[in-house]
Amino acid sequence: MPHASAPPDDPTPFNTDAVREVIRAAASVPGAMLPVLHAVQGHLGHIPSEVVPLVAQALNVSRAEVQGVLDFYHDFRRAPPGRHLVWICRAESCQAMGAEAIETHARNHLGLAYHETTADGALTLEPVYCLGNCACSPAVRVDGEIHGRMDPIRFEKLVEELRAETVTA
């Protein structure tokens, strides 16, 4: 079983000018903090700590205010996600159909807590509160694809397939 990782802040460099442009494009809407942070995460896949002062400056707020928003909303990632995002539905229908068992199995099988990435960088495990697939509960979404009627065996097979995918540049 791979070790879970709580990756340190991303050492991967990014194009500061491109990030400033992303921030500038989203900064003009009222209440721009969340749109700006979503735009940065959409661009980089996460929000490195080096972006916090750029956002603060663009929005004329303190770094603490930006950090406070990042700390409050756990959907903002501080480190790059794995190559595949695995979301486990935790809504009522999925809970009634065994999602808690899938969740426990997934966490044990991957050796992860929510919001963590496997050491090989293949998978990041996330909770979600409804995938809108209640008729096929319990459901899991991998990247953009929903997989219904999930069970531990299907989950392990899915993980095996995801890990077997080759990374193309």
Binding-site residues for [2Fe-2S] cluster: 89, 94, 130, 134
Sign, CA dihedral 12-18-24-29, equals: negative
User: Is the CB of residue 87 less than 8 Å from the CB of residue 144?
Assistant: no
Q: What are phi and psi of 5, to 5 degrees?
A: -125, 140
Q: What are phi and psi of 147, to 5 degrees?
A: -120, 115
Q: What are phi and psi of 75, to 5 degrees?
A: -75, -15
Crossing angle for the helix pair 33-44 and 16-26, nearest 10 degrees? 140
Preceding peptide of 138 cis, ω within 30°: yes
Annotated binding-site ranges: 89, 94, 130, 134
Could you give the CA distance from residue 99 to residue 149 in angstroms, rounded to a whole number? 10
